[in-house]
Amino acid sequence: MAASSTRSARSEEVKVTVRSEEELKFPDGFTWGCATAAYQIEGAWCEDGKGPNWWDDMTHEPGRIYKGHTGDVACDHYHRLEEDVALMKQMGLPAYRFSISWSRVFPSGAVDEENAAGVAFYRRLLSLLKEAGIKAMVTLYHWDLPSALAAKGGWLSPDSPGWFEAYAARCYELFEPHGVDSWITFNEPWCVCALGYAAGAHAPGRTCDPGSEPYLAAHHILIAHARAYRAYKAAGRPRPIG
């Protein structure tokens, strides 16, 4: 009886507020679209000069990933570029957020070793999006650090903010003239730090020092974001970046 009375009292406390459709509208300028990550959709993991990244390394480690799944092919977006953008247009997407694979454009991570095929791929994507009337929102880093930089310490290295700043600055030069509408520096840095350097569920899969490494990685990523942002603004570039 007591339990029943409690449930009755609680139900009486619940109040539902019905709002008009006008109140529930998104504000003018709200951007709709869809989002992807390079490793999640591109495939072509070692084609046309692309270097490996630490997700390639982690997924190719025997016994590491469920049923040995990898992103080697994924959605095969690299080979289905025109078809995929046509589908986006058919869906009526006003905006598309995608990420650049650092190691596809710079196989070693260093900007003095540029991969022309990688550059051409993203320029073609930007051109197709522009033709389709879809805003291009570009993420510079969605978790896929080049293996060569991972071998130098990854985000634990004090040099990592400099690596990222140089990479970002060159991407601005390479791609903004071809139709970038806005820039994002890092996608969900918490995942890189906590899942990559503590839980070990994301690349680089480290669990050896969860009391220190995630915080050091976060420190360097915050600095990397700030340096990339300031480099963009210092160059007088006009697009939104955050």
Query: Over its length of 242 residues, how does the chain's per-residue pLDDT go in tens digits?
Result: 444 444 445 555 677 677 777 778 888 889 999 999 999 999 999 999 999 999 999 999 999 999 999 999 999 999 999 999 999 999 999 999 999 999 999 999 999 999 999 999 999 999 999 999 999 999 999 999 999 999 999 999 999 999 999 999 999 999 999 999 999 999 999 999 999 999 999 999 999 999 999 999 999 999 999 999 999 999 999 999 99
The confidence score (pLDDT) of residue 6 equals 46
The confidence score (pLDDT) of residue 5 equals 45
The confidence score (pLDDT) of residue 17 equals 72
Question: Token digits for 137?
Answer: 């929102």
Cβ contact 153:160 at 8 Å: yes
Tokens 């799944």 sit on residue: 69
Question: Token digits for 218?
Answer: 């976060």
The confidence score (pLDDT) of residue 95 equals 98
The confidence score (pLDDT) of residue 10 equals 54
| β-pair type (135-141, 180-186) | parallel
| β-pair type (34-35, 180-186) | unpaired
Q: What's the rounded Cα separation, in Å, for the pair 79 and 113?
A: 23
Q: What's the rounded Cα separation, in Å, for the pair 141 and 221?
A: 10
The confidence score (pLDDT) of residue 225 equals 98
Nearest Cα neighbor of 239 from 186, 177, 187 is 177
Residue 35: φ, ψ to 5°: -140, 145
